Structure 1
Amino acid sequence: MFSSLIENAFRQAQENGDLDNLPGAGKPIAESSLTSDPFAHVYAESGTMTPLGEMQRKIEAAKQRLAGATDPEAKRKIQAEISELEMRKAVEMETWKRYG
């Protein structure tokens, strides 16, 4: 059932012309862009990040803020934010390993 929904949506997008003139159409995917994340090249070509990449970017930004923080309360809040982001990333990675 799920695959037929996807096939119908894909066919409808083709008929509507939604897939015409996409960047990189007809070109092979560069070997260097093939990673364990099968959609990483799609995100890279569109100029966006994978959800895990975006989460890692947020972690790095929070770590930079932590390095510059001087107020103990602000440091605790940033550390809590980093812990939450790292936990969410670990859960996402585990989910991907199990069900991806």
Structure 2
Amino acid sequence: MERPRWETPVERAIREAQERGEFDDLPGAGRPLHLGDPEGPEDPLWWVRRKLEDEQLDLSAAMPPALAMRKEAAGYPESLLDLRTEEAVRTVLEDFNRRVRRDRLRPPDPGMPQLLAPTVDVDAMVEGWRALRAASQAVEVDPPVTTGQARARRRWWRRGR
């Protein structure tokens, strides 16, 4: 291999690595790079979706508020199962309806259609929450803890101090 008269430090590092054979056994050697979408060529933003998956990014903060609220409402009442009291569930749902009404007063972005999120029926959601909570409590029965497991838990607790 003929060496150029002048090369950048990066080019020199690459050339020296090639001479040492560090690039010889790389996975996929001798095959073309796959830069297309495996789902099909009709999605021009395939690379954005792949990057989001690779980086495990959540773009819910980038959504318009109405779409974010629609997504939030689609998770009800399942997303409310961690709440212990009916009062807490009602508080969350009433706050959601308050945010929806406030968002409706906001003027639409220029050049964009007005997106609206629907309010939720608080009483119907509370009934759904009650039914789901009763079903989940009937299923959740803790297995008995053996003496060895109890000792291991106590030792772990002491280690964490």
The answer to whether TM tops 0.5 is no
The bucket for the TM-score relative to the shorter chain is 0.3 to 0.5
Structure showing the higher helix proportion among its residues: 1
Could you state the TM-score of these two structures normalised by the residue count of structure 1?
0.34
Structure with bigger gyration radius: 2
Please, what TM-score do these two structures have when normalized by structure 2?
0.25
